[in-house]
Amino acid sequence: MLRIAIQSKGRLHDESLQLLADADLRVSASKRALVAKVKNLDVELLFLRDDDIAPTVADGVADIGIVGLNEVEETGAAVERLMPLGFGGCRLSLAVPKDADYDGPSWFRGRKVATSYPRILEAYFRREGIRADIHVIAGSVEISPSIGLADAIFDIVSSGSTLVSNNLREVAVVMESEAWLVGSGRLDADRQALLDELLFRIRTVRSACGKKYVLMNVPRAHVPDVIRVLPGVKSPTVMPLADEDWCSVHTVLDEDRFWEIIGQLKACGAQGILVCPIEKMIL
Protein backbone atom coordinates (compact mmCIF):
# COMPACT_ATOMS: atom_id res chain seq x y z
CA MET A 1 0.00 0.00 0.00
CA LEU A 2 1.16 3.52 -0.87
CA ARG A 3 0.58 6.14 1.82
CA ILE A 4 0.20 9.79 0.78
CA ALA A 5 0.40 12.66 3.31
CA ILE A 6 -1.62 15.78 2.52
CA GLN A 7 -2.60 18.86 4.53
CA SER A 8 -5.58 18.18 6.80
CA LYS A 9 -6.98 21.68 6.40
CA GLY A 10 -5.63 24.96 5.14
CA ARG A 11 -4.58 26.41 1.83
CA LEU A 12 -3.28 23.23 0.17
CA HIS A 13 -6.01 20.84 1.35
CA ASP A 14 -8.68 21.35 -1.33
CA GLU A 15 -6.33 21.45 -4.29
CA SER A 16 -4.39 18.41 -3.07
CA LEU A 17 -7.62 16.39 -2.87
CA GLN A 18 -8.76 17.79 -6.25
CA LEU A 19 -5.49 16.73 -7.89
CA LEU A 20 -5.89 13.19 -6.52
CA ALA A 21 -9.54 13.14 -7.63
CA ASP A 22 -8.49 14.27 -11.15
CA ALA A 23 -6.07 11.33 -11.14
CA ASP A 24 -9.15 9.16 -10.36
CA LEU A 25 -8.27 8.31 -6.77
CA ARG A 26 -11.66 7.85 -5.10
CA VAL A 27 -11.44 8.77 -1.45
CA SER A 28 -13.94 7.82 1.21
CA ALA A 29 -13.05 10.49 3.72
CA SER A 30 -14.99 11.71 6.69
CA LYS A 31 -14.02 15.30 7.45
CA ARG A 32 -12.32 14.62 10.77
CA ALA A 33 -10.52 11.38 9.98
CA LEU A 34 -6.75 11.26 10.20
CA VAL A 35 -6.54 8.49 7.62
CA ALA A 36 -8.69 7.74 4.57
CA LYS A 37 -8.66 4.79 2.21
CA VAL A 38 -8.71 5.18 -1.55
CA LYS A 39 -11.45 2.88 -2.82
CA ASN A 40 -10.11 1.95 -6.24
CA LEU A 41 -6.32 1.75 -5.66
CA ASP A 42 -4.14 0.35 -2.90
CA VAL A 43 -3.51 3.84 -1.53
CA GLU A 44 -4.17 5.50 1.82
CA LEU A 45 -4.25 9.23 2.64
CA LEU A 46 -2.79 10.63 5.84
CA PHE A 47 -4.06 14.08 6.85
CA LEU A 48 -1.42 16.18 8.63
CA ARG A 49 -0.44 19.75 9.45
CA ASP A 50 1.68 21.15 6.63
CA ASP A 51 4.70 21.46 8.97
CA ASP A 52 4.63 17.70 9.60
CA ILE A 53 4.31 16.46 6.01
CA ALA A 54 7.95 16.60 4.85
CA PRO A 55 9.37 15.06 8.08
CA THR A 56 6.73 12.30 7.98
CA VAL A 57 7.73 11.44 4.42
CA ALA A 58 11.44 11.67 5.25
CA ASP A 59 11.11 9.13 8.06
CA GLY A 60 9.05 6.79 5.86
CA VAL A 61 5.76 6.91 7.83
CA ALA A 62 4.25 8.29 4.62
CA ASP A 63 5.69 7.29 1.23
CA ILE A 64 4.91 10.52 -0.58
CA GLY A 65 3.40 13.88 0.35
CA ILE A 66 2.01 17.09 -1.09
CA VAL A 67 3.59 20.09 0.60
CA GLY A 68 4.81 23.65 -0.03
CA LEU A 69 8.48 23.84 -1.02
CA ASN A 70 8.85 26.42 1.77
CA GLU A 71 8.10 23.69 4.34
CA VAL A 72 10.53 21.27 2.67
CA GLU A 73 13.29 23.88 2.93
CA GLU A 74 12.40 25.03 6.43
CA THR A 75 12.20 21.55 7.94
CA GLY A 76 15.32 20.45 6.08
CA ALA A 77 13.62 17.06 5.70
CA ALA A 78 15.53 14.63 3.48
CA VAL A 79 12.84 14.03 0.84
CA GLU A 80 13.02 13.54 -2.91
CA ARG A 81 11.39 16.34 -4.89
CA LEU A 82 9.28 14.47 -7.42
CA MET A 83 7.17 17.07 -9.22
CA PRO A 84 5.96 20.67 -8.87
CA LEU A 85 2.16 20.71 -8.90
CA GLY A 86 1.23 24.18 -10.14
CA PHE A 87 -0.79 25.36 -7.13
CA GLY A 88 -0.05 26.97 -3.73
CA GLY A 89 2.25 29.48 -5.42
CA CYS A 90 3.81 32.08 -3.12
CA ARG A 91 7.16 33.61 -2.20
CA LEU A 92 9.07 34.11 1.03
CA SER A 93 10.04 37.74 1.35
CA LEU A 94 11.56 40.27 3.67
CA ALA A 95 9.39 43.31 4.33
CA VAL A 96 10.11 46.54 6.19
CA PRO A 97 7.86 49.37 7.41
CA LYS A 98 6.60 51.38 4.43
CA ASP A 99 8.60 54.52 5.23
CA ALA A 100 11.83 52.82 6.43
CA ASP A 101 15.08 54.14 4.87
CA TYR A 102 15.80 50.72 3.33
CA ASP A 103 18.92 50.80 1.14
CA GLY A 104 19.71 47.12 0.52
CA PRO A 105 20.21 43.90 2.54
CA SER A 106 22.78 45.55 4.85
CA TRP A 107 19.82 47.51 6.34
CA PHE A 108 19.03 44.33 8.30
CA ARG A 109 22.41 44.37 10.09
CA GLY A 110 21.70 44.28 13.84
CA ARG A 111 17.94 44.57 13.32
CA LYS A 112 15.24 42.32 14.67
CA VAL A 113 13.30 40.30 12.10
CA ALA A 114 10.17 38.32 13.03
CA THR A 115 9.43 35.10 11.16
CA SER A 116 8.08 31.56 11.28
CA TYR A 117 10.84 30.51 8.83
CA PRO A 118 14.08 30.99 10.80
CA ARG A 119 16.08 28.34 8.97
CA ILE A 120 15.50 29.78 5.49
CA LEU A 121 16.10 33.31 6.76
CA GLU A 122 19.27 32.35 8.59
CA ALA A 123 20.65 30.78 5.40
CA TYR A 124 19.82 33.95 3.46
CA PHE A 125 21.55 36.23 5.99
CA ARG A 126 24.54 33.89 6.02
CA ARG A 127 24.82 34.12 2.22
CA GLU A 128 24.57 37.90 2.40
CA GLY A 129 27.08 38.09 5.27
CA ILE A 130 24.61 39.82 7.58
CA ARG A 131 24.18 39.35 11.32
CA ALA A 132 20.61 40.07 12.34
CA ASP A 133 18.42 39.11 15.27
CA ILE A 134 15.91 36.48 14.12
CA HIS A 135 12.84 36.42 16.30
CA VAL A 136 10.72 33.28 15.84
CA ILE A 137 6.96 33.61 16.17
CA ALA A 138 4.31 31.13 15.15
CA GLY A 139 1.64 33.33 13.60
CA SER A 140 0.49 36.89 12.80
CA VAL A 141 4.07 37.78 11.88
CA GLU A 142 2.86 40.78 9.88
CA ILE A 143 1.71 42.73 12.93
CA SER A 144 5.02 42.47 14.80
CA PRO A 145 6.60 45.74 13.49
CA SER A 146 3.51 47.81 14.35
CA ILE A 147 3.45 46.53 17.94
CA GLY A 148 7.19 47.10 18.40
CA LEU A 149 8.11 43.41 18.47
CA ALA A 150 10.42 43.60 15.44
CA ASP A 151 11.94 46.01 12.90
CA ALA A 152 10.97 43.90 9.90
CA ILE A 153 9.39 40.59 8.95
CA PHE A 154 10.17 37.58 6.81
CA ASP A 155 6.98 35.82 5.70
CA ILE A 156 4.95 34.26 2.92
CA VAL A 157 3.54 36.69 0.38
CA SER A 158 1.16 35.90 -2.44
CA SER A 159 -0.99 38.88 -3.51
CA GLY A 160 0.90 41.30 -1.24
CA SER A 161 -2.30 42.71 0.27
CA THR A 162 -1.44 41.56 3.83
CA LEU A 163 1.78 43.59 3.63
CA VAL A 164 -0.03 46.66 2.30
CA SER A 165 -2.71 46.54 4.98
CA ASN A 166 0.01 46.36 7.66
CA ASN A 167 1.98 49.29 6.19
CA LEU A 168 4.84 47.05 5.13
CA ARG A 169 6.92 47.05 1.95
CA GLU A 170 8.39 43.93 0.32
CA VAL A 171 12.11 44.53 -0.23
CA ALA A 172 13.67 41.14 -1.02
CA VAL A 173 12.29 37.86 -2.35
CA VAL A 174 14.31 35.06 -0.75
CA MET A 175 12.57 32.05 -2.30
CA GLU A 176 9.68 31.16 -4.60
CA SER A 177 7.47 28.28 -3.55
CA GLU A 178 4.60 26.12 -4.76
CA ALA A 179 3.11 22.77 -3.78
CA TRP A 180 5.37 19.81 -4.63
CA LEU A 181 4.94 16.09 -4.63
CA VAL A 182 7.78 14.73 -2.49
CA GLY A 183 8.81 11.16 -1.79
CA SER A 184 10.78 9.15 0.76
CA GLY A 185 12.98 7.67 -1.97
CA ARG A 186 12.84 4.18 -0.42
CA LEU A 187 9.89 2.29 -1.87
CA ASP A 188 9.68 -1.41 -2.50
CA ALA A 189 8.77 -2.57 -6.02
CA ASP A 190 4.99 -2.69 -5.40
CA ARG A 191 4.79 0.78 -3.95
CA GLN A 192 7.12 2.14 -6.62
CA ALA A 193 4.74 0.75 -9.26
CA LEU A 194 1.83 2.54 -7.57
CA LEU A 195 3.84 5.77 -7.44
CA ASP A 196 4.77 5.46 -11.13
CA GLU A 197 1.10 5.02 -11.99
CA LEU A 198 0.16 8.05 -9.91
CA LEU A 199 2.93 10.19 -11.45
CA PHE A 200 1.74 9.16 -14.93
CA ARG A 201 -1.84 10.14 -14.09
CA ILE A 202 -0.83 13.48 -12.56
CA ARG A 203 1.33 14.33 -15.60
CA THR A 204 -1.59 13.41 -17.86
CA VAL A 205 -3.99 15.68 -16.00
CA ARG A 206 -1.44 18.49 -15.75
CA SER A 207 -0.57 18.46 -19.43
CA ALA A 208 -4.23 19.01 -20.32
CA CYS A 209 -4.44 21.87 -17.84
CA GLY A 210 -4.85 25.26 -19.51
CA LYS A 211 -5.28 23.72 -22.98
CA LYS A 212 -8.23 23.73 -25.39
CA TYR A 213 -9.09 21.58 -28.39
CA VAL A 214 -9.98 23.87 -31.30
CA LEU A 215 -11.77 22.92 -34.54
CA MET A 216 -12.39 25.33 -37.42
CA ASN A 217 -13.27 25.50 -41.08
CA VAL A 218 -10.67 27.12 -43.31
CA PRO A 219 -10.69 27.90 -47.07
CA ARG A 220 -8.32 25.33 -48.62
CA ALA A 221 -6.18 28.09 -50.12
CA HIS A 222 -5.57 29.58 -46.66
CA VAL A 223 -4.60 26.34 -44.85
CA PRO A 224 -0.83 27.07 -45.10
CA ASP A 225 -1.40 30.52 -43.48
CA VAL A 226 -3.42 28.92 -40.67
CA ILE A 227 -0.74 26.27 -40.05
CA ARG A 228 1.88 29.02 -39.73
CA VAL A 229 -0.20 30.69 -36.98
CA LEU A 230 -0.86 27.50 -34.98
CA PRO A 231 1.56 26.32 -32.28
CA GLY A 232 -0.08 22.85 -32.12
CA VAL A 233 0.99 19.79 -30.16
CA LYS A 234 2.76 18.41 -33.24
CA SER A 235 1.16 19.49 -36.48
CA PRO A 236 -2.54 20.25 -36.88
CA THR A 237 -4.98 17.73 -38.32
CA VAL A 238 -6.31 18.88 -41.70
CA MET A 239 -9.34 17.09 -43.15
CA PRO A 240 -11.25 17.62 -46.37
CA LEU A 241 -14.85 18.79 -46.24
CA ALA A 242 -17.70 17.91 -48.63
CA ASP A 243 -17.16 21.33 -50.19
CA GLU A 244 -13.76 20.86 -51.86
CA ASP A 245 -12.79 24.50 -51.37
CA TRP A 246 -12.84 24.09 -47.57
CA CYS A 247 -10.97 22.03 -44.95
CA SER A 248 -11.51 21.29 -41.27
CA VAL A 249 -8.45 22.06 -39.09
CA HIS A 250 -8.09 20.63 -35.54
CA THR A 251 -5.44 21.60 -33.02
CA VAL A 252 -4.62 22.18 -29.34
CA LEU A 253 -4.13 25.73 -28.04
CA ASP A 254 -2.76 27.14 -24.77
CA GLU A 255 -5.45 29.10 -23.00
CA ASP A 256 -3.13 32.02 -22.21
CA ARG A 257 -2.42 32.68 -25.93
CA PHE A 258 -5.95 31.83 -26.98
CA TRP A 259 -7.39 35.27 -27.86
CA GLU A 260 -4.25 36.37 -29.68
CA ILE A 261 -4.25 33.25 -31.88
CA ILE A 262 -8.00 33.18 -32.52
CA GLY A 263 -7.74 36.76 -33.84
CA GLN A 264 -5.00 35.70 -36.27
CA LEU A 265 -7.04 32.65 -37.37
CA LYS A 266 -10.06 34.81 -38.14
CA ALA A 267 -7.81 37.11 -40.16
CA CYS A 268 -6.78 34.00 -42.18
CA GLY A 269 -10.45 33.34 -43.02
CA ALA A 270 -11.18 30.64 -40.41
CA GLN A 271 -14.89 30.22 -39.68
CA GLY A 272 -17.13 28.13 -37.41
CA ILE A 273 -14.42 27.94 -34.74
CA LEU A 274 -15.32 25.41 -32.01
CA VAL A 275 -13.44 25.42 -28.69
CA CYS A 276 -13.67 22.31 -26.48
CA PRO A 277 -12.21 21.47 -23.05
CA ILE A 278 -9.57 18.72 -22.82
CA GLU A 279 -9.91 16.43 -19.84
CA LYS A 280 -6.69 14.47 -20.18
CA MET A 281 -3.74 14.46 -22.55
CA ILE A 282 -1.27 11.59 -22.91
CA LEU A 283 1.91 12.79 -24.56
Footprint of ligand PRT on this chain (CB under 6 A)? 7, 10-12, 49-51, 68, 70-71, 88, 90, 155-162, 177
Total residues contacting Zn ion (rule CB under 5 A)? 2
Q: How far apart are CA 85 and CA 43, in angstroms?
A: 19
Q: Please choose which of Zn ion, ligand PRT, none residue 152 contacts, taking the beta carbon within 5 to 8 angstroms, the exact cut-off set by kind.
A: none
Return the number of the residue (161 or 235) whose C-beta is nearest ligand PRT: 161
Q: Output the smallest distance, CB 6 to Zn ion, in A.
A: 13
Q: Output the smallest distance, CB 48 to Zn ion, in A.
A: 10
The phi, psi pair for 30, rounded to 5°, reads -90, 150
Return the number of the residue (162 or 217) whose C-beta is nearest ligand PRT: 162
Q: Please choose which of Zn ion, ligand PRT, none residue 63 contacts, taking the beta carbon within 5 to 8 angstroms, the exact cut-off set by kind.
A: none
Return the number of the residue (12 or 249) whose C-beta is nearest ligand PRT: 12
For the chain, the DSSP string reads -EEEEEESSSTTHHHHHHHHHHTT--B---TT-SEEEBSSSSEEEEEE-HHHHHHHHHTTSSSEEEEEHHHHHHHT---EEEEE-S-S-EEEEEEEETT----SGGGGTT-EEEES-HHHHHHHHHHHT---EEEE-SS-GGGTTTTTS-SEEEEEESSSHHHHHTTEEEEEEEEEE-EEEEE-S---HHHHHHHHHHHHHHHHHHHHTTEEEEEEEEEGGGHHHHHHH---SSS-EEEE-SSTTEEEEEEEEEGGGHHHHHHHHHHTT-EEEEEEE------
Return the number of the residue (15 or 197) whose C-beta is nearest ligand PRT: 15
Q: Output the smallest distance, CB 226 to ligand PRT, in A.
A: 41
Return the number of the residue (52 or 63) whose C-beta is nearest ligand PRT: 52
Residue 268 and residue 226 in contact, taking contact as beta carbons nearer than 8 Å: yes
155 lies in the site for Zn ion, by CB under 5 A: no
Q: Please choose which of ligand PRT, Zn ion, none residue 240 contacts, taking the beta carbon within 5 to 8 angstroms, the exact cut-off set by kind.
A: none
Q: Please choose which of Zn ion, ligand PRT, none residue 92 contacts, taking the beta carbon within 5 to 8 angstroms, the exact cut-off set by kind.
A: none
Site for Zn ion in 46-105 (CB under 5 A): 50-51
Q: Please choose which of ligand PRT, Zn ion, none residue 88 contacts, taking the beta carbon within 5 to 8 angstroms, the exact cut-off set by kind.
A: ligand PRT
Return the number of the residue (106 or 158) whose C-beta is nearest ligand PRT: 158
Q: Output the smallest distance, CB 206 to ligand PRT, in A.
A: 18
List of residues contacting Zn ion (CB under 5 A)? 50-51
